[in-house]
Amino acid sequence: METRFSALLDGELGDQDCASTLNTLRQDAAARDEFGMYCLIGDTLRGEGRLGTEMTASVMARLAAEPTVLAPHRSRKPQRGLWRPAMALAASAAGVALVAWLALVPQPNDVSPLLAKAPVAKEVVSVQQGSPQASMTLASSREMQEYLIAHQAHTANYHLSAGPQQIRTISFVETGAGK
């Protein structure tokens, strides 16, 4: 199984083998533990990875029982960007680490794909209004403008981007507002 793990982590398995190995991991808890330990040892040898709380009890116990440290040959291969750390971390069998690290998948150009939809540019871009219930856009009126000013002024402390975030106050004003 070790060779399979190695090949899987290197991205060297063909699609079919990859799928079947994943399937095994999916169904077999013992195989998952083994995979998890395999990855973790490799990570430790390379000086990366998260030890401690992310380990399941069984993997910890196995690690303690191992007299010699396995030295996966792949440790000499250069890291393959997203694939290696993503796989290794996915394999540390505690869901805690998985969920926390899920958002760390680097996207092209290191820009969140969400933000890539709204490029920072001068032209007006359509930004979704959010919840489908908010289908009506408030006509600007002086009352609402002043409520907005009040809301913004008294909540500025609670925004980490306090300064620029205040722009909301005057951004909503439509030309000719003041009705």
Partner 1 sequence: MTVRHVLAASLWVALLCSLGQIARAESAPDALQWLQKVAAATRKLNYSGVFVYQGGGKSETSRIVHVAENGRDQERIETLDGSPREIVRDGNDIKCYLPESRLVVVERRFRRQNFPSLLPEGIGGLTDHYVIHRGMPARIAGYDTQSIVVEPRDDLRYRRQFWVDSQTGLPLKAGLFDEKGEVRETFAFTELKIGGTVEREALKPHSRLAEGEWRVHDIRPKELGHEDDAWALKTLLPGFMRISTMKRPTRQDSPSTTHMVFSDGLAAISVFIEPLPTGHAKPETGAYAMGALNVYKRLLGEYLLVAMGDVPLVALRKLTDGIELKKK
Residues 65-84 that bind partner 1 (CB under 8 A): 81-83
Q: How far is C-alpha 155 from the geometric centre of its chain's CA atoms?
A: 29
Tell me the residue type at 118. A
| Residue from 30, 64, 65, 121 binding partner 1 (CB under 8 A) | 121
> Which residues in 4-105 belong to E strands, given as ranges?
none
CA distance linking residue 42 with residue 48, whole number of Å: 9
Question: Nearer Cβ to partner 1, position 45 or 149?
Answer: 149
The answer to whether the Cα torsion of 14, 15, 18, 20 is positive or negative is negative
Angle at 86 between CA 85 and CA 91, to 5 degrees: 95
CB of 8 to partner 1, least distance (A): 9
Closest CA to 48 of 92, 103, 114: 92
Query: Which residues from 140-179 bind partner 1, rule CB under 8 A?
Result: 142, 144-151, 153-173, 175-178
CB of 104 to partner 1, least distance (A): 7
CB of 60 to partner 1, least distance (A): 15
> Is residue 111 near partner 1 by the rule CB under 8 A?
yes
Map residues 23-62 to x or -, x wherever contact with partner 1 holds by CB under 8 A: --xxx----x--------------------x---------
| Residue from 57, 61, 71, 105 binding partner 1 (CB under 8 A) | 105
DSSP assignment letter at 170: H
> Contact region for partner 1 (CB under 8 A) — 39-47, 60-68, 70-78, 96-104?
96-104
C-alpha dihedral (27, 29, 30, 35), degrees to nearest 10: 90
